[in-house]
Amino acid sequence: LSAAIASAQTESEVCRAVVDGLHDEALGYDFLGVFLLEHPSGDRVLGAAIGWPGIPPDMRVPPGAGLSARPVADGQLRYTPDVTREPEYVPGLSSGSEVDVPLKAGDEVLGVLVVESREPDAFGPGDLEILTAAAQLAGLALARLRLVEEQHRTGEAERRRADEREALLATITDLSAE
């Protein structure tokens, strides 16, 4: 799992590596999804999912909706042993238990890992440890990809400005010569 996440070249590949790596019958996770936080809307946008039949590939969850809004707001892992007892529960998605783990880079929340089981109270300390580690790796990988993209954009902008300065200097030189 860690090798697949670390070698991912896009955000989509990071999300896919997380859900594929954690989807193991021995772990007993019925549904896994990685949702990335979109700016400035605050929507959680599905990056990858497995085990949830009929989920739209472009699913969006607005700010404040659903159980996964809590770790986005406070940056903390949230375990819900019985989702049907929670007012934020979205009926029809699952009827068991859910773990929501923020994907973070430093203090910034980049998204959330949502893991569900059809069984109530299905997650133990070992599960929370595994899911936390996977979310930390994913958060670091996403931050790395975003930093590389930002550096690329910054480098492009600096090259463009240098080219513009050079063109302006050449024009001024030509005008001065005339």
pLDDT digits (tens, 9 = 90+) for 43-81: 999 999 998 888 888 899 999 999 999 999 999 999 999
Q: Torsion over CA of 102, 145, 58 and 119, rounded to 10 degrees?
A: -30
The model carries a pTM of 0.82
- The string of pLDDT tens digits covering residues 106-141 is 889 999 999 999 899 999 999 999 999 999 999 999
Judge whether 97 and 123 are in contact, CB under 8 Å: yes
d(CA 30, CA 127): 13
For helices 125-177 and 11-22, the axis angle rounded to 10 degrees is 170
